[in-house]
Amino acid sequence: MDRLKDKVVLITGAASGIGRASAELFAEEGASIVVADIDGPGAESVASGIRGRGGRAFAVAGDVSVGADASRMVEETVGRFGRIDVLFSNAGIPSVAGSIVELSEEEWDRTIDVNLKGTYLLSKAAVPHMMAQAGGVILVTGSEQGYVADPQTPAYNAAKSGLHGLMRSMALNLVRHNIRVNAVCPGITDTPLLQREVDTSPDPEATRRSYAAWAPIGRMAAPREIAQVAAFLASDAASFVVGAAWLVDGGYTAL
């Protein structure tokens, strides 16, 4: 399919998990991809895999929570490919499980900086280019945890709820510039992030079983199932989707 033919797409957190699956699927759909990640070698490996299959991609290493890095990701996209049609602000981190009393100030700051501030910094850098080219798409990776809460992840819940709010405000402000802003909101998805949580839990086998039973569908999502919805939201087929936090959660929030 050619849902993203000739689009230039910057994806953050694209060395792994949902971002990687999206980079690979978006390339199959005809897009030129900038694979941005704090893990430089991982980003390069995804980009060279795409090039090896005949696609157009290059890697940028950087931290989305640092203004200079976020700007550089956008500027290198425009410098190399001439424009930026889609910013997919996907990079995110979990927070260490615990109550608000156990949560350190450093952990709070890092969780908010990567999961929330990163999208502000990237959008601030990308929007002037999108305005100059009379349109674009900003897609963020929200979460079912922006809708519901977990008693053990206050910082992550705050970051993802805040991200949904930021997304809606930007959507309302930018729609008149033909810039559509939306969120794809995964439920439990079987990525390296999730696997690290399983591996570091007291009983990994039981944790994996409980994640598999989490949603009514009775299994975790594959990263590509989230990428498929992201590709739709990034494409012109979603031309009337504005300010939506689009759940892809196997029915969890319908419970």
Ligand X SMILES: NC(=O)c1ccc[n+]([C@@H]2O[C@H](COP(=O)([O-])OP(=O)(O)OC[C@H]3O[C@@H](n4cnc5c(N)ncnc54)[C@H](O)[C@@H]3O)[C@@H](O)[C@H]2O)c1
Smallest separation, CB 6 to ligand X (Å): 26
Among residues 193, 212, 217, 242, the one that binds ligand X under rule CB under 6 A? 193
Position 154 contacts ligand X (CB under 6 A):
no
Position 86 contacts ligand X (CB under 6 A):
no
Position 70 contacts ligand X (CB under 6 A):
no
Beta-bridge partners for 139: 88, 182
Nearer to ligand X, 65 or 157 (CB): 65
Told to judge if 211 belongs to the known catalytic residues of this protein, a careful annotator would answer no
Beta-bridge partners for 9: 33, 86
Smallest separation, CB 43 to ligand X (Å): 8
Position 250 contacts ligand X (CB under 6 A):
no
- Answer whether 126's CB lies under 8 Å from 139's CB: no
Residue from 147, 156, 211, 252 carrying the catalytic annotation: 156
Per DSSP, 150 falls in state -
- Answer whether 87's CB lies under 8 Å from 122's CB: yes
Edge-to-edge strand order for the sheet containing 86-89? 56-61, 32-37, 8-12, 86-89, 136-141, 179-186, 245-248
Q: Could you list the residues that contact ligand X (CB under 6 A)?
A: 12-13, 15-19, 37-39, 42, 63-65, 90-93, 114, 141, 143, 186, 188-189, 191-194
